[in-house]
């Protein structure tokens, strides 16, 4: 079983699904102030897992702010009940957006914790990724996230109707 610690310098290469999910959980657990997450649908990152949601709970209780981008909303809306419970409880600390289908960008995983650590998945369908802490890489990934954020829109599938 792989164990990931931050900072990760030199960057750590990741090639297996389980390692990607563990690195994602480690990155989330390391965040204190800001967390930027972008994924196709967060299935590979296992955003609905107990480990990730426990890390998010601690992050939100400590005052952290989350910005989340997804290309598809189905997994979070229907298969990640722990995450949706966190959204219900800490919605004031989250901004959830969906990348427009006609945006022209391909879905790749990207996570940045506190502007210091990153996890970058290089292809939408494979867990091949890099976990690192290089400031120049973080700055470039931050720019990519900001560009996606500017073209994103709210997603109604993540809102619950309380009737």
Pairwise pLDDT comparison (7 vs 85), residue with the higher score = 85
Contacts of 121 (CB under 8 A, 6+ apart): 20, 39, 44, 108, 109, 110, 127, 128, 129
From residue 156, alpha-carbon distances to 42, 116, 153 in Å are 17, 31, 10
Domain map (residue ranges) of the chain:
17-129
pLDDT at 2 over 80: no
**Sign of the dihedral through C-alpha 47, 58, 138, 38:** positive
**Which option is the CATH number for 17-129: 3.10.20.30, 3.40.50.1010, 3.40.605.10, 3.30.870.10?**
3.30.870.10
In this prediction, residues 25-40 reach a mean pLDDT of 96
Q: Over the chain, what is the mean pLDDT?
A: 89
Under a CB-based contact definition with an 8 Å cutoff, are residues 38 and 70 in contact?
A: yes
Backbone angles phi, psi at 72, to 5 degrees: -130, 145
Question: What is the number of alpha carbons within 13 Å of residue 70 lying toward its C-beta?
Answer: 20
Containing 26, the helix (H) or strand (E) segment is helix 17-30
Q: In this structure, what DSSP letter does residue 115 have?
A: T
Greater model confidence, 37 or 124: 37
Lowest-confidence pick of 47-51, 83-87, 108-112, 156-160: 156-160
Say what the pLDDT of residue 112 is: 98
Q: Quote the tokens at residue 115.
A: 């502007």
Q: What is the mean pLDDT of residues 43-47?
A: 93
Name the band, by pLDDT with cuts 50, 70 and 90, for residue 163: very low
| pLDDT tens for each residue of 60-108 | 999 999 999 999 888 998 999 999 999 999 999 999 999 987 666 677 7
């Amino acid at each position: 079983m792989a164990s990931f610690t931050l900072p990760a310098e030199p960057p750590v290469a990741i090639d297996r699904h389980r390692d990607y999910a563990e690195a994602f959980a480690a990155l989330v657990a390391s965040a204190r102030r800001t967390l930027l997450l972008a994924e196709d649908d967060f299935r590979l990152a296992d955003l609905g897992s107990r480990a990730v949601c426990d890390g998010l709970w601690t992050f939100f209780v400590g005052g952290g702010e989350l910005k989340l981008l997804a290309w598809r909303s189905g997994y979070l809306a229907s298969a990640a009940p722990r995450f949706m419970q966190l959204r219900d409880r800490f919605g004031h600390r989250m901004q959830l957006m969906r990348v427009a289908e006609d945006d022209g960008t391909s879905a790749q995983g990207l996570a940045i914790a506190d502007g210091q650590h990153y996890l970058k998945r290089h292809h939408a369908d494979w867990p091949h990724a890099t976990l690192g802490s290089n400031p120049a890489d973080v700055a470039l990934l931050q720019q990519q996230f900001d560009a996606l954020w500017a073209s994103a829109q709210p997603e109604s599938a993540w809102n619950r109707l309380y009737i």
